[in-house]
Amino acid sequence: MKQLGIAFFALLLASTLVAAASFTVEVAPVKDRILIDGIAEFKLTIHNLGPVTAKYVIDKVDYPRWDIRTPDNINPITIDIPAGGSGTLTLYLDPNQNYIGGRGSHSVNIGVQNLASGETVMVRANVGITDDTKPAYTPTVILTTDFPDEVQPSQDLRFTVTLSNQNKLNLTDVVLRISSKLMDSELVIDLAAEQETMVDVRVPLNPQTPPLADTAYMTLTWRGDSVLPTPFQKTYRVAPAAVLSQSEAVKKSFLRTGIEVTFRNNGNVPHTGELTVAVNGWKRPFLYTKPEANYRRGAFTWDATIPAGESVTVTVVENYLWLLVLIIVVGLAWALIHIKRLPIAITKKVMQVESKEGSLVGMKVLVTVRNRSQEKLEEVVVLEKLPKLLELERGATIGSLPPTKIFKNERQETFVKWELAALGPDEERVVNYSLRSSFEILGGLKLTPAVVTAKSDGKEIKALSQAPAVNVRAQA
């Protein structure tokens, strides 16, 4: 019986981590068991621990026994890694049969050098070589997917990968690798014999991912060997999209409200078009905007271009302060016009002030009533309210028109009433009286307005005089 010597060398070093002063290196197997004419595959990862971007070069230490190259045959093999970042290279290790002999376990030395500092880290990749030529069982899996033709960056990328195991063999720890410009991930799954397995994939996307055309590659490996006839490829495009979001900030003050509206373009291309803020139409007279806007059918509009990832802020101000000012002005104007149009006028003056050592003790008051119209005024009555600290001087001459009545109300305030009967057109009457205080009043005081009422064409009219102030010091 012819004995076939078949020996398989397991991986002795799955991942080697070497620390250096400014960077570390890891080497991990992808395919570490090959035939003598095969090619091994490893992933080499460099971690830049330094404060600046560094360039690293791969040294083929064991050349010509082992040649080292990349899938795109870069020569020399270099990689730039930013400060604090990491970079990974795919390395193919190709044995030279003239130097390494036959089957067995082989250690391949790989040097990584920082070109700026000259620091070098050595790692080893262990490769098992067999001379077994016995046909192996080749598992076959069919891959299908609903990966979309067009990807919207504002939404998560979702798709399903369906794997149909065509063999009577359960495949465990199958590695599904999906790589593109949008994602690079590996999923480990188990495939039951002659069964379909569906894998749901969800990839969060940056809404500002620029429009692009790309190809997604999907590979399926089991124990380091591909179980797909060829890598699956799916072409797709990232669609251009301008996605606007809108937020508001309200600032309030007296009779004024400002609303700052911010439009942000969360898309991947500039937004060019109309920005709109809806408002109540009845408020339009009280609204203005910054910057100036167009108004159309209950909304303010602005024409704007917002680059991707940027924002524009507009302000809508609701201002009722000018309305208050307008009401006050109109009210004052109406009052002035009304006063001027009153057919009767009354004035009140302090003619003589008597003081003693800087204190007020008495005064004489003159009240003048005049008919300013061309009509006769009936039932003309003058009413005066006396200050609390002053009394009507009874013994003094109080003028040609004596008061009709002197009385007090429930608050014990004293009133003096003169009934003048009638006043002809442009006729004028004068009432004067004297006031005296039982106390010495320091400083001064302000008299109340005199009131006159009358009837014109059966309608009662009323007018008030000014309220004169008495300052003893000013007249001393």
Are 303 and 358 within one domain?
Answer: no
Q: Decide which of 64, 97, 130 is a domain's last residue.
A: 130
Instruction: Name the more confident of 169 and 210.
Output: 210
- Cis preceding-peptide flag for 76 (omega within 30 of 0): yes
Q: What is the mean pLDDT of residues 207-225?
A: 90
Instruction: Name the more confident of 100 and 266.
Output: 266
Whether residue 3 is contained in a domain is answered as: no
Domain of residue 125, CATH code: 2.60.40.3880
28-37, 76-85, 228-237, 353-362 — which one is most confidently predicted on average?
Answer: 76-85
Whether residue 399 is contained in a domain is answered as: yes
Domain of residue 284, CATH code: 2.60.40
Supply the pLDDT for residue 361.
83
Q: Is the pLDDT of residue 2 over 60?
A: no
Q: 119 falls in which pLDDT band (50, 70, 90)?
A: very high
Instruction: Name the more confident of 93 and 397.
Output: 93
Are 120 and 85 within one domain?
Answer: yes
Are 468 and 363 within one domain?
Answer: yes
Q: Is the pLDDT of residue 336 over 80?
A: no
How far is it, in rounded angstroms, from Cα 307 to Cα 327?
Answer: 46
Supply the pLDDT for residue 101.
66
Supply the pLDDT for residue 4.
27
Are 232 and 289 within one domain?
Answer: no
Whether residue 331 is contained in a domain is answered as: no
Number of domains in the chain: 4
Q: Is the pLDDT of residue 215 over 70?
A: yes
> What range does the domain containing 221 cover?
141-238
Phi-psi region at 395: left, alpha or beta (left = phi > 0; alpha = psi -120 to 50): alpha
Q: What is the mean pLDDT of residues 41-46?
A: 95
Whether residue 86 is contained in a domain is answered as: yes
Are 155 and 191 within one domain?
Answer: yes
Supply the pLDDT for residue 24.
93
List the helix and strand counts (H, then E) for the chain: 3, 37
Are 364 and 383 within one domain?
Answer: yes
Supply the pLDDT for residue 148.
95
Strands (E), 131-207: 141-145, 150-151, 157-165, 171-179, 184-191, 196-203
Q: What is the mean pLDDT of residues 267-294?
A: 90
Whether residue 59 is contained in a domain is answered as: yes
Whether residue 329 is contained in a domain is answered as: no
Give the C-alpha distances (Å, rounded to integers) separating 178 from 204, 219, 284, 458: 15, 7, 57, 101
Q: What is the mean pLDDT of residues 43-57?
A: 94
228-237, 393-402, 422-431 — which one is most confidently predicted on average?
Answer: 422-431
Domain of residue 177, CATH code: 2.60.40.10
Q: Is the pLDDT of residue 399 over 80?
A: no
**Tokens standing for residue 137:** 């069982």
Q: Decide which of 220, 238, 256 is a domain's last residue.
A: 238
Sole residue written with tokens 């040097």: 111
Q: Is the pLDDT of residue 228 over 90?
A: no
Whether residue 122 is contained in a domain is answered as: yes
- Give the list of residues 6+ apart from residue 191 with CB closer than 8 angstroms, or none: 141, 163, 165, 170, 171, 172, 174, 197
Are 466 and 347 within one domain?
Answer: yes
Are 380 and 396 within one domain?
Answer: yes
Whether residue 470 is contained in a domain is answered as: yes
Q: What is the mean pLDDT of residues 450-461?
A: 90
Are 348 and 391 within one domain?
Answer: yes
Are 453 and 375 within one domain?
Answer: yes
Q: Decide which of 238, 266, 301 is a domain's last residue.
A: 238
Summarised one tens digit per residue, pLDDT across range 363-380 is 899 999 999 988 899 999
Supply the pLDDT for residue 145.
95
Instruction: Name the more confident of 20 and 242.
Output: 242
Q: List residues bridging with 91 in a β-sheet.
A: 42
Q: What is the mean pLDDT of residues 188-210?
A: 93
| Backbone angles phi and psi of 321, in degrees to 5 | -65, -40
Summarised one tens digit per residue, pLDDT across range 122-163 is 999 988 887 654 444 556 788 999 999 999 998 999 999 999
Domain of residue 458, CATH code: 2.60.40.290
Supply the pLDDT for residue 17.
34
Are 291 and 347 within one domain?
Answer: no
Are 21 and 96 within one domain?
Answer: yes
Q: Is the pLDDT of residue 273 over 80?
A: yes
Supply the pLDDT for residue 380.
93
